[in-house]
């Protein structure tokens, strides 16, 4: 999400086929520690990625959304409206994850309130 422009943005990101790979690689280079970008790409371009995308679309339909900007956190839908910027979804998602987390919450959760 750090690198995605979102549909309403005036810059490229994950939503553009022409910049998807470069955007994904830039994010992976910063954040992935346990596997390579090539492994990630093999997943999202292969059978596993296709299967996960289809499962995601089916869940989105079941929850009444067709937007790619949604996530289930602890069984609860976290989403924003179609015209809302992706930046409005990120804090909601982080707050829901922190709220659902069992145990001693990381310090980073102190800035998020559900």
The answer as to whether 26 is a domain residue is yes
pLDDT for 114 beyond 70: no
Cβ atoms of residues 13 and 23 within 8 Å: yes
**4-62: pLDDT as tens digits:** 555 545 455 666 677 788 888 888 888 888 989 999 999 888 999 889 888 888 887 88
pLDDT given at position 21: 87
Domain of 14 in residue numbering reads as 1-45
- Residue 102, domain member (yes or no): yes
Q: Is residue 56 part of a domain?
A: no
39 and 83 share a domain? no
Q: What is the pLDDT of residue 69?
A: 65
pTM of the complete model beyond 0.85 = no
Minimum mean pLDDT range among 36-40, 67-71, 85-89, 106-110: 67-71
Cα separations in angstroms, 23 against 11, 27, 28: 11, 6, 9
Distance CA 77, CA 73 (A): 7
């Amino acid at each position: 999400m750090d690198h995605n422009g979102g549909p309403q943005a005036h810059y490229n990101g994950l939503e553009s086929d022409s910049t998807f790979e470069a955007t994904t690689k830039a994010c992976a280079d910063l954040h992935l520690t346990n596997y390579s970008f090539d492994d990630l790409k093999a997943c999202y371009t292969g059978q596993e990625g296709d299967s996960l995308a289809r499962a995601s679309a089916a869940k989105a339909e079941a929850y009444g959304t067709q937007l790619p900007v949604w996530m289930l956190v602890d069984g609860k839908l976290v989403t924003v409206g179609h015209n809302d910027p992706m930046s409005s979804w990120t804090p909601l998602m982080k707050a829901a994850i922190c709220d659902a987390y069992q145990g001693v919450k990381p310090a980073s959760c102190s800035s998020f309130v559900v």
